[in-house]
Structure 1
Amino acid sequence: MEHGSGAGHGLPGRHESFWMETAPETSYPPLPGDLEADVAVVGGGITGITTAVLLKQAGYTVAVIEADRISRGVTGHTTAKVTSLHRLIYRELVDRFGGSRAKQYADANQAAIGTIASLVQEYDIPCDFIRKPAYTYAESEDSRDLVAAEADAARSLGLPAAFVDDVPLPGRTYGAVRFADQAQFHPLNYLLRLASMIPGDGSQIFEKTRALEVRDERSRCTVRTDRWTVTARSVVLATHYPFYDGPGFYYARMEPSRSYVLGIRIDEPFPEGIFINAEGPAHSWRSQPASGGELVLVGGMEHRTGENVDTREHYRRLEEYARSVYPVKSVDYRWSAQDYITIDGVPYIGPLADGHENVYIATGFRKWGMTNGTAAAMILTDMIRGRQSPWAEVYAPDRFRPIASIQRFLAHNIEVAEKYIGGAISRPSGDLRDVQPGEGRILMIEGRKTGIYRDQEGRVHAVNPTCTHMGCVAAWNSAEETWDCPCHGSRYSVDGRVIHGPAVRGLPPPGE
């Protein structure tokens, strides 16, 4: 599981992703020795698994390397909306990139929906794939104009968009942009069936194998892991955040963001559709078939990863919001998700950087990973096959020029430098005796910052809280009981084990 020990702290629901609880666990072997493949895919989420399947279908041998278990990371904590309606993005894309590249983004995400639907049908995947309309709805008169402009922009790009006055949710709304023929599914049941198609004919999946380093030597690449080495002609980094940054400076171009999900039961049928509000703190809604009746997933309350706040309040406020909209019979599940948001809001998909043409990345999905991750797999498969992707330009990692987004670029990096590196956000406070069961805190012990967590049995777990990725100081996440780095989103267990990259080494004991 992504989170820590998961004590309740009076929080609603069971601390578990519905997808992970209702999907079988995998048991692929660790990497048993050095090997060669045409392509090494690092990361076993929707991007990595889909890329591996498409490449194998094209005749390539593929080695998938996953640090833990496939599908149990970011993909296992999504809300699993399969839609090209990404809140309010198309008016922004047209203004920033022009109509041609905005259409590339639109077409890529629509094609991703079609690819998922085709794979579900072709392989008869039992994953609750259901076509539904998607809505971005206005909660105020001011938002109504923005939503109407989004509908116009989306229609101009050929998307199945319309502005509608009626939104089938309780409470007052002011219209919405509606996309027809979108979808939802059970992401793990989908992904695990795809994964089962990879082993054989020279292709394999290796779990419990952490990639540590990539070397691109023009004619071949090597991926060094904590076990053995994989040699390949190409490498795909599908690890959500590139654990190997190379000369791309992706750490300076993305912000880590966490958001929260509750799985609730309500006293009435949920309306037909998947929903998100247009402005302000995000409120996301969808339903899911489940044993015991329909489960409703409500999400939101996003914030920067590693903020020095009581993250339990985000779950509590999300529950309050859900109860303000629907009569809630029960809260059955709670979980949180992590995403990365790029400087200009569009993912980076393509070659890592100049001089690394055989190493490819896919990152920065801005909370829309089901379609963008699938589109990434399609784009990278074309590139590795030497074919031209019709959507590559808008996603190109080298499109970034600081001058084009200078204000946000500088603000982000000055904030990281001043607020997070060195631990200004996590000032040591208190004494070891003050740390209560279930609490984590950074203390100054023998002149050193020390991350202290006292578990429910009173045992103390101590770590050096300096992130092993780039030296920022991790903050305590009270809701998940983890140490989270505010700079680039690395996350660690109470004993310092890496839960989420880009870090590849755990937090050491105090003083090291």
Structure 2
Amino acid sequence: MSFDPSKDPFPQFPKSVWLSETEMPTYPKLANDIEADVAVVGAGITGMTTAYLLASKGFKVVLVDAGKIANGTTGHTTAKITAQHDLVYDEFISHFGEEKSRLYYEANRDALNFIKKLVVEQAIPCQFKEEDAYIYTIEEANVAKIEAESKAYEKLGIPGGYLAQPPLPFQTQAAIVMKNQAQFDPIPFLKHIAQAFIQLGGQIFEQTTVVGVDKGTPATVKTSEGFRITCNFVVSSSHFPFNDRNGFYFARLHAEKSYALAAKTEISLAGGMYINADTPARSLRTVMVNGEELLLIGGESHKTGQGICTFQYYEALRQFGVAQFNLQEVRYHWSAQDLLTLDKLPYIGREVSDESNILIATGFKKWGMTTSVAAAILNTALIAGEKSPYEELFSPSRFHADPMIKTFIMSNANIAKHLIAGKFDIVHREAEELQNDEGAVVRVNGKRAGAYRDTSGELHVVDTTCTHMGCEVEWNEAERSWDCPCHGSRFSYTGTVIEGPAKQPLTQVDVRGEQKK
């Protein structure tokens, strides 16, 4: 399926509203071996907040990122700061009990309060605004789920409760509200923290890809260009853990894509942040851009690399906006990739044991603004030798038979299906057939390859075998990328790694079918 640019209501290339409105400073590449107390890998909100907190406690901290700071999931979020993470609390109570479910809420509540306190005390201009958060349904079949979640709120002491109609301009069957949550623009927030971190003596290095770590005390973090960071502690906050040598995490995490757009609408949102309990997902909030209020609409999730024509998801969000808010113009559109764990709780803390000096922060589902900060607070406490009530709850080595076994079996069956299916795809197209700004799986000398002809007419051809574990990547038309349906690795059309777990680029191929070195 090819998208017709002449009928495209979106700007040509995706760009998030957050990254468009704030210019971030640039930082150098690591160009020599260095030493530190702590090396933090990944400079989104998780890594940046962790580095800042550790530096505030007097640690010598080095923060590295394979790309630019904030350009990953943090720059492509809906930026809701809330402990309302879909309909989870009734489910958590049934799986983990009331005590652990309450701890989950409190960890995210504490993260929200941390952000609020920092914004107020340091006067960070990031559009921070307190809002109530709502989950609603337009389907009668989901009313019972809303009612059950309301009872879970009562058990856990969460402020809010059931209501039939939230302040939306369309009719709902039921809703639940969590009071006093918040929203913001994450990029100026991170920009401020980065500057504060530097002032505390921290170092930031961009375009610095970490490929592994030699364990021990001290540990040695290794980069793709051969430089080393010797440190007492390592924190992996790079979305997918960079040090997954034994496959522990790729078997326990899966990647999902979701989509968002910011648009001018005729009907405004009367305050609040919203997400539905129905399928497909619909997320709503407002954002101010140059003094003008835009409506942010998100949703339409699917497993990475398994979404066929990805333009359809943006179009579905646009059509929803037209129907419910009389959408006038799409100003920005973008996508995000999130990692989900087997039991829906993030993995935060020491990698494998109480003695480990390697710490993890990953699997935030789609709610990284609070869980990332909760991760930063927890991992900082562990490194500083402080006690935390959340250590056991988020431990990466935990095991809950229910629901982890069922989810593990289903997830790995899905991976096996795509691993096999991609190898036996029958490919009919030739690279030479592609039009400008078109990509597809093609046949080059009888072999499967991936090709994209850019807007200037230049052809880019790559081997479609993912360098992580050998699955066949698929073309993502809306993002102009090659996405792996097995473990969520993403590559640019030239083959460079956009997101892991893959560390090596796709091999480039010329039209004669020869691999380029």
1:225 is aligned to 2:236:
no
| 1:351 corresponds to 2:375 | no
What SS class does the counterpart of residue 404 from structure 2 fall into? Answer: helix
SS of alignment partner, residue 212 of structure 2: strand
1:386-427, CA deviations, whole angstroms, 9 ceiling, x for partnerless residues?
A: 112111222111112567532221121122123235724854
Using the alignment, how far apart are the partners of 2:338 and 2:200 within structure 1?
34
SS of 2:196's equivalent in the other structure is coil
- How far apart, in 1, do the equivalents of 2:52 and 2:222 lie? 23
Q: What is the match of residue 448 of structure 2?
A: 449
Note if contact 1:248-1:352 (Cα within 8 Å) is conserved in structure 2: no
Distance in 1, matches of 2:45 and 2:426, equals 38
Counterpart CA distance in 2 for 1:182 and 1:285 is: 14
1:269 maps to 268
> Which residue in the other structure is 2:321 paired with?
322
Cα drift, residue 459 of structure 1: 1.8
2:116 equivalent in structure 1: 117
Q: In structure 2, what is the Cα distance between the partners aligned to 1:81 and 1:401?
A: 28
The answer to whether the 8 A contact 2:101-2:156 is kept is yes
CA distance in 2, matches of 1:13, 1:422: 33
Gaps of 5+ in 1: 1-5
| Pairs within 5 Å for 1:196-211 | 196-200=195-199, 202-211=201-210
For normalisation by structure 1, the TM-score amounts to 0.95
Equivalenced residues, count: 506
Answering whether residue 428 of structure 2 is matched by residue 429 of structure 1, we say yes
1:171-209: CA deviations, max 9, x gaps? Answer: 220221101110000000111101111124542111111
Alignment CA distance shift 1:168-1:200 (3 Å) = closer
- Superposed displacement of residue 457, structure 1: 2.8
Deviation of 1:472 after TM superposition, in Å, equals: 1.2
Find the counterpart in structure 1 of residue 341 from structure 2.
342
Distance 2:143 2:347 in 1: 31
Q: 1:88 to 1:224 in 2, by over 3 A?
A: same
Q: Is the contact between residue 133 and residue 177 of structure 2 (CA under 8 Å) also seen in structure 1? A: yes
- Once residues 446 and 423 of structure 2 are traced to their aligned partners in structure 1, the CA distance between those partners, rounded to angstroms, is 16
* 8 Å Cα contact 2:259/2:313 also seen in 1: yes
Residue equivalent to 1:304? 303
Kept in 1, the 8 Å contact 2:431–2:443? The answer is no
Q: Measure the CA separation in 1 of the matches of 2:200 and 2:137.
A: 51
Q: What is the letter of the counterpart of residue 222 of structure 2?
A: R
Deviates more, 1:206-215 or 1:418-427: 418-427
Q: For residues 285 and 52 of structure 2, what CA distance do their matches in structure 1 show?
A: 28
Aligned to 1:3: none
Matched residue type, 2:139? S
Find the counterpart in structure 2 of residue 144 from structure 1. Answer: 143
- CA distance in 2: counterparts of 1:379 and 1:355, whole angstroms: 14
Matches within 5 A, 1:96-107: 96-107=95-106
Rounded to whole Å, the distance in 2 between the matches of 1:350 and 1:429 is: 48
* Post-superposition CA distance 1:208-244 (Å, at most 9, x none): 1111111211x11111112321111110110111122
Cα deviations by residue, 1:122-149 (Å, 9 ceiling, x for unpaired): 2110001000000001212221221121
Please provide the CA RMSD for this pair: 1.9
Structure 2: give runs of 5+ residues left out of the alignment.
none
Q: 2:53 is aligned with what amino acid?
A: L
Aligned-pair distance for 1:118? 0.8
2:424 and 2:386 map into 1 onto residues whose CA distance is: 47
Matches within 5 A, 1:324-473: 324-354=323-353, 357-400=356-399, 405-420=404-419, 423-424=422-423, 427-473=426-472
Match status 1:212 vs 2:205: no
Give the equivalent residue in structure 2 for 1:47.
Answer: 46
Aligned equivalents of 1:196, 1:32: Cα separation in 2:
21
| Change over 3 Å in CA distance of 1:426–1:302 after alignment to 2 | farther
- Distance in structure 2 (CA, Å) of the matches to 1:9 and 1:412: 39
Match of 2:508 in 1: 509
Distance 1:139 1:246 in 2: 45
After superposition, residues 22-171 of structure 1 pair within 5 angstroms as 22-171=21-170
Structure 1's 403 and 86: CA in aligned 2 closer, same or farther, altered over 3 A?
closer
What is aligned with 1:184? 183
1:226 is aligned with what amino acid?
Answer: S
CA contact (8 A) 2:435 2:453 kept: yes
Call closer, same or farther: CA 1:378–1:223 in 2, change over 3 Å.
Answer: same
Normalising by structure 2, what TM-score? 0.94
Contact kept? 1:41, 1:237, Cα under 8 Å: yes
Q: Equivalent residue of 1:334, what SS?
A: strand
Partner residue of 1:284?
283
The change in CA–CA distance for 1:425 and 1:89 in structure 2 (over 3 A counts) is farther
> Any conservation in 2 of the 1:56–1:62 contact (CA below 8 Å)?
yes
8 Å contact kept, 1:11–1:315: no
